[in-house]
Amino acid sequence: MLEHSRDLSQNPCHMCMPMGGILALKGVEGSMSLLHGSQGCSTYMRRHIAEHFNEPVDVASSSLNEKGTVYGGQENLKKAMDNVRRVYKPALIGILTTCLAETIGEDIRRIALEYQLETECECRIVTASTPGYGGTHTEGYWSTLRELLSQMTVPCAPHAKINIIVPAALSPADLREIKRWLELFDVSYTLLPDISETMDRPYGPAYGKISEGGTALADIEQMSGAAMTLELGGPVDEKLSPGTLLEANHKVPLVKLPVPIGLANTDLFFQAMISVTGKAVPAILQRERGLLMDAMIDAHKFSFQIRPAIFGDPEMVYALTGFCAENGMFPRVVATGGGSVSWREKVRLLVSGSLDPAWVMEETDMAKVLEQSKISEVNLAIGPSVGRYLEENADIPLVRIGFPIQDRLGAQRILSVGYTGTALLLDKAVNTILEQKHKTYRQDLFEAYYEREEAAYHAL
């Protein structure tokens, strides 16, 4: 059974748009995020992102106050850009809007262009509209990437590089794994955005206000001449898709792929690499595929017992639903705070062969997920930390994956993509359900015994 839900009232399973914009900018070399809005917004964003990655996160603010709200915040934003240039010396300033700036109708693009004319600005400035009430953090993420490409790419001669565009929910460990594959294929590429170093950096003797790493600005400019774009995320809306923009503006061929979690999804990624490069899958990756298949066989006698609720970013939920289905699990609740028509239809195909009915919910919240999980007898939750709501209220154990994870350590080191990452995720899911089973089965047997005895007594 499928449901299209629009309940956004309690404990939403998404964050707000500017947070996604910050995540996108954190993967760009030498960038600094600047929120045009109140100071509290940047503090809120910094806290959530820092707790997930366990890294220092700076987000500048124009600190709009009552006066700026009434008369306009242009001067606040220009002073903020002055301060960011002086303190951080960034290569790029990414200006994002908040609810307050959007409500008063600030034209941040005009202000940024005017500022560049008035000053000897040595850095690039990119702007993106990301009102908190305008959508989810994933929509803010994709919108910001589109603006980066729209405002930075330039016409250039065709070259052999391929573009790899990745979703917000992947960890630095995931991106390092994807980069390893690309190096094994010996292919030139531009990965956008690249948080593999910026959000998981080694300890060093000196602290840098802006992390090293990230996608080089020169590479972003040249993405318009790439041989192909591989956009990971599956059913990303056309209006949000950065790859669609490159295809429309610069005729760069686009292939949309699901996040490579699961055997089938990872196979799709490597099939695309074979098509682009004309090379066979390296032997080491073929061996990892065999190891995953062996792990799936080992796990199947346990995984078929799992009736999961899957929630989080649409791109991650889609990939995880396929992962569950191919391992004999029966997804009972599939939910996201965002979603779209194409997302709903593609998820419907993934769960159509399930022996148990699956509830598909978009633009929903965790209160609704909890309610339906109880009705559907869900016994495992898979998603970010907001799923502790199910742990606390229904004793449904949670496998933490995606963004944000704030109540456990090491989110930046969670590997879930590819054959190796999928095997690790499968082990985690099965072991979580086994732990719950062995923790409660004696009590369940005890209660069942006395229920039978009581029923027999009353039958006399």
Model pLDDT for residues 146-173, shown as the tens digit of each residue: 999 999 999 999 999 999 999 999 999 9
What is the distance between the alpha carbons of residues 99 and 97, in angstroms, rounded to a whole number?
7
Q: Give me the pLDDT at residue 11, please.
A: 79
Please name the residue ranges forming H helices in 212-313. Answer: 217-221, 242-250, 263-277, 283-303
What is the distance between the alpha carbons of residues 270 and 268, in angstroms, rounded to a whole number?
6
Q: Spell out, as residue ranges, where the chain has pLDDT lower than 70.
A: 1-9, 441-450, 453, 460
Residue found under tokens 């609704």: 368
DSSP symbols for 408-455: SS-GGG---SHHHHHHHHHHHHHHHHHHHHHHHHHHHHHHHHHHHHHH
Report the largest interatomic distance among the alpha carbons of the chain, rounded to a whole angstrom.
94
Three-class SS state of 106? coil
**Cα Rg, the chain, nearest whole Å:** 23
- By the 10 Å C-beta count (0-12 exposed, 13-18 middle, 19+ buried), 73 is classed as buried
What is the distance between the alpha carbons of residues 226 and 183, in angstroms, rounded to a whole number?
17
249's tokens:
């503006």
- By the 10 Å C-beta count (0-12 exposed, 13-18 middle, 19+ buried), 455 is classed as exposed
CATH superfamily of 17-134: Nitrogenase molybdenum iron protein domain (3.40.50.1980)
Q: How many CB atoms sit inside 10 A of residue 355's CB?
A: 7
What is the distance between the alpha carbons of residues 207 and 200, in angstroms, rounded to a whole number?
14
Three-class SS state of 400? strand
DSSP symbols for 269-281: HHHHHHHHH--PP
What is the reported pTM?
0.93
Please choose, from the candidates 274, 360, 265, 272, the residue with its C-alpha nearest in 3D space to the C-alpha of residue 310: 360
Residues 240 and 146 sit within 8 Å (Cβ to Cβ): yes
Q: Which amino acid is at 452?
A: R
Q: What share of the chain is helix, strand, coil (3-state, %, to 5)?
A: 50, 15, 35
Residues forming CATH 3.40.50.1980 domain(s) in the chain: 17-134, 162-277, 283-442
For 27-47, how does the pLDDT look when each residue is reduced to its tens digit (9 = 90+)?
999 999 999 999 889 998 999
Residue found under tokens 């170093």: 197
H or E, element range at 92: strand 92-97
Q: Mention the CATH class of domain 162-277.
A: alpha beta
Q: Which amino acid is at 204?
A: G
DSSP symbols for 135-186: SBHHHHHHHHHHHHHHHH-------S-EEEE--TT--HHHHHHHHHHHHHTT
What is the distance between the alpha carbons of residues 97 and 132, in angstroms, rounded to a whole number?
8
126's tokens:
């990119």
Under CATH, what is the fold of the domain 283-442? Answer: Rossmann fold (3.40.50)
333's tokens:
């609740």
